[in-house]
C-alpha cells in the first residue's frame, strides 16, 4: 500500500531540491559577502525556553523518548522542536558569549517546526534563513539599515539570477508609533498597537470602534491613529505627513529620524524595494525599534515572506544584555508554491553533465577512468549502468536530462543538438551553462 503523505511536511522531487539548493547557496553567498558567520543550533530546546516569550504551546512539537520515565514528564526537562531560529540563537549567544566577538554577525539556515494548520505558504516543517547582528549591552542604530539592505540584496539576487518574483519590504519603527500614541495622551500604547494591527483584517471602521469603545479614546484621537496607519511612501515624504497630523513627542521624533535613515539608505542600495509603511507592528511585545515585513509580487496572499526587527534584549544574564536586529526569510514559504506550480524549475533533475558510455562490461574500467579524469576537473560525471546499445544509453541520458555522452573512441556528443566532436578528457570542458543544472522561472 502506498504511504500517505503527511500534510504540512513538504518534500521536493530531485528537480525541486536542485532549485532549493541553488537558492540556499545564493543566500549563503550573499550573507557571507557581508561578513555574516554561519551557525547551526540543535533542533530541540527546553519547553521553558520555547514558551518564555508567551503562550505559544499550541505551536510546539514536544519531544520525548519513547521509553522515558513517566515521572520525568513533570520534571521541567521536556524538550520541544524549535519553532523559529531566534529562541535557539538567544540561548546560543548567552552560552557562548565568552567566545564571540561583538557585534556578532550570524546567519543561520535550518529547518523549524510549527504545529499549525497547513496551507499554502504555511507548513509544519520548513526551512528558514536568518541574519542577525547582536551587540553586548549596546548596538549601533546603523545596523538596522544594514540588515535590511543585506536581506534585500539577497532577495534581489534571487530575482535577477533565478527569476523569483521581486519583493517589497515594508518598514516601520515601534518608537514612532509609541511616541505618536503617547503624544495623544495614551498611557497603554500597546493596547492601541494591538488594535491597529488588525487594520488589514477587520478594516478601519471596526478598528476605530475598538479604539473608542474598548480603550475610551475620543473620536478625534482614534481618527489620528487610523490616519497614521494609512501613511506609506517609498521616500522620506512620510515624515512631513506624520508631522502634519499635529502630534508631538520626543519618541515620535526619534522614530521618524530612524525610519527616514533606513528608507534613504535602502533607496540608494536597492531602489524600489523598500517602503515606509506605518501600519506594520510585528511581534507586539517583542520588537522595540525598526520592524520589517516583506511581500512577494503576485503572492501577496502568502503574507509576509520575510520579517524581523530590532530588539533591546535578545538575551540577558542579569549583568549583561545582548541587543540585536535581525530578519528571517521563509525559504520554503517562497519556494514551495513556485515549485508546486511548475513556475520555478531546474534545467535537469541530476547534477550530471556527462554520461560515459560503456561498450562492454569488460571495458567498464576504461569508462571509469575517463569519468575520473572529468570529475578531477570539476565536471559532474557518471558511467552508464549497463553496456546497452548506444542508442539506449543516449536515451537513458536524455531521460535524466544529461546533456553529453562520452564514447570510448574519444568523442563526446551533445545529445540535444546531435553535434559530436573528438575530445580529450584531460582538457575538454563543457559550456559554463551546461556544467551544472540551471534554475529559472517558467511562465
pLDDT digits (tens, 9 = 90+) for 2-54: 888 889 999 999 999 999 999 999 999 999 999 999 999 999 999 888 887 55
Q: State the pLDDT confidence band at 193, using cuts at 50, 70 and 90.
A: confident
The pLDDT value recorded for residue 318 is 87
**Residue 61 annotated as lining a ligand binding site:** no
Q: What is the pLDDT of residues 215-266, one digit of tens each?
A: 999 999 999 999 999 999 999 999 999 999 999 999 999 999 999 999 999 9
**pLDDT tens digits along 275-298:** 999 999 876 667 899 999 999 999
In a domain, 126, yes or no: no
Most confidently modeled range among 70-79, 201-210, 233-242: 233-242
Q: Is residue 383 part of a domain?
A: yes
Q: Do the annotations mark residue 245 as ligand-binding?
A: no
Is there a binding annotation on residue 404?
A: no
CA-closest candidate to residue 18, choices 166, 162, 167: 162
Quote the pLDDT of residue 155.
97
- What does the alpha-carbon distance between residue 44 and residue 79 come to, in Å, rounded to a whole number? 6
> What pLDDT was estimated at residue 283?
63
CATH number at residue 418: 3.40.50.800
198 assigned to some structural domain: no
Q: What is the pLDDT of residue 315?
A: 86
Residue 365 is predicted with a pLDDT of 97
Is 123 a known ligand-binding residue? no
Q: Is 409 assigned a ligand-binding role in the annotation?
A: no
Q: Residue 381 domain-assigned?
A: yes
395 assigned binding-site residue: no
Q: Is residue 435 part of a domain?
A: yes
pLDDT tens column, 324-374: 999 999 999 999 999 999 999 999 999 999 999 999 999 999 999 999 999
Residue 28 lies in a domain: no
Distance CA 39, CA 104 (A): 11
Could you tell me if residue 206 is inside a domain?
Answer: no
Query: What's the domain range around 375?
Result: 354-441
Q: Is 286 annotated as a binding residue?
A: yes
Does residue 251 form part of some domain?
A: no
Q: Stretch 194-220: mean pLDDT, rounded?
A: 90
**CB under 8 Å to 175, separation ≥6 — which residues?**
251, 252, 254, 255, 258, 288, 289
| pLDDT classification of 58: cutoffs 50, 70, 90 | low
Could you tell me which residue, 316 or 71, shows the higher pLDDT? 316
Predicted pLDDT of residue 55: 46
| Angle of helix 204-213 versus helix 219-229 axis, rounded to 10 | 140
Query: What is the total count of domains within the chain?
Result: 1
pLDDT digits (tens, 9 = 90+) for 96-106: 999 999 999 99
Residues of the chain with pLDDT > 90, as a percent, come to 81
Residues in the chain: 443
Is residue 402's pLDDT more than 70? yes
Maximum distance among all Cα pairs of the chain, rounded to whole angstroms: 91
Is residue 187 scored above 90 in pLDDT? no
Amino acid at each position: 500500500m502506498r504511504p500517505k503523505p503527511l500534510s504540512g511536511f513538504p518534500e521536493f522531487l530531485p528537480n525541486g531540491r536542485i532549485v532549493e539548493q541553488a537558492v540556499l547557496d545564493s543566500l549563503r553567498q550573499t550573507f557571507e559577502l557581508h561578513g555574516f558567520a554561519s551557525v547551526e543550533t540543535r533542533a530541540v530546546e527546553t519547553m521553558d525556553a520555547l514558551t518564555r516569550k508567551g503562550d505559544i504551546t499550541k505551536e510546539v512539537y514536544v519531544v520525548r523518548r519513547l521509553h522515558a520515565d513517566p515521572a520525568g514528564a513533570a520534571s521541567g526537562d521536556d524538550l520541544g522542536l524549535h519553532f523559529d531560529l531566534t529562541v535557539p540563537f538567544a540561548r546560543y549567544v548567552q552560552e557562548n558569549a565568552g567566545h564571540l566577538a561583538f557585534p556578532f554577525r550570524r546567519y543561520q539556515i535550518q529547518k523549524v517546526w510549527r504545529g499549525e494548520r497547513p496551507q499554502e505558504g504555511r507548513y509544519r516543517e520548513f526551512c528558514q534563513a536568518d541574519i542577525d547582528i547582536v551587540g553586548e549591552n549596546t548596538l549601533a542604530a546603523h545596523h538596522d539599515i544594514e540588515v535590511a539592505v543585506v536581506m534585500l540584496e539577497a532577495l534581489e539576487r534571487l530575482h535577477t539570477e533565478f527569476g523569483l518574483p521581486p519583493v517589497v519590504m515594508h518598514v516601520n519603527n515601534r518608537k514612532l508609533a509609541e511616541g505618536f500614541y503617547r503624544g495623544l495622551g495614551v498611557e497603554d500604547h500597546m493596547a492601541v498597537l494591538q488594535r491597529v494591527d488588525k487594520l488589514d483584517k477587520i478594516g478601519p471602521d471596526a478598528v476605530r470602534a475598538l479604539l473608542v469603545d474598548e480603550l475610551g479614546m475620543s473620536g478625534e484621537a482614534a481618527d489620528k491613529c487610523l490616519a497614521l496607519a494609512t501613511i506609506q511612501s517609498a521616500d522620506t515624504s512620510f515624515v512631513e505627513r506624520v508631522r502634519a497630523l499635529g502630534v508631538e513627542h520626543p519618541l515620535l521624533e526619534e522614530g521618524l529620524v530612524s525610519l527616514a535613515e533606513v528608507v534613504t539608505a535602502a533607496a540608494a542600495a536597492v531602489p524600489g524595494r523598500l517602503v515606509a509603511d506605518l501600519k506594520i507592528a510585528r511581534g507586539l511585545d517583542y520588537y522595540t525599534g525598526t520592524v520589517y515585513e516583506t511581500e512577494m509580487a503576485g503572492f501577496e496572499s502568502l503574507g509576509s515572506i520575510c520579517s524581523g526587527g530590532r530588539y533591546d534584549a535578545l538575551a540577558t544574564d542579569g549583568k549583561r544584555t545582548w541587543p540585536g536586529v535581525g530578519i528571517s526569510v521563509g525559504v520554503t514559504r517562497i519556494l514551495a508554491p513556485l515549485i508546486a506550480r511548475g513556475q520555478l524549475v531546474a534545467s535537469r533533475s541530476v547534477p550530471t553533465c556527462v554520461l560515459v558510455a560503456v561498450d562492454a562490461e569488460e571495458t567498464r574500467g576504461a569508462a571509469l577512468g575517463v569519468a575520473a579524469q572529468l570529475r578531477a576537473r570539476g565536471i559532474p560525471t557518471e558511467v552508464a549502468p549497463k553496456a546497452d546499445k548506444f542508442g539506449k544509453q543516449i536515451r537513458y541520458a536524455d531521460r535524466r536530462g544529461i546533456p553529453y555522452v562520452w564514447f570510448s573512441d574519444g568523442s563526446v556528443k551533445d545529445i540535444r543538438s546531435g553535434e559530436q566532436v573528438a575530445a580529450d578528457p584531460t582538457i575538454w570542458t563543457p559550456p559554463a551553462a551546461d556544467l551544472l543544472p540551471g534554475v529559472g522561472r517558467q511562465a
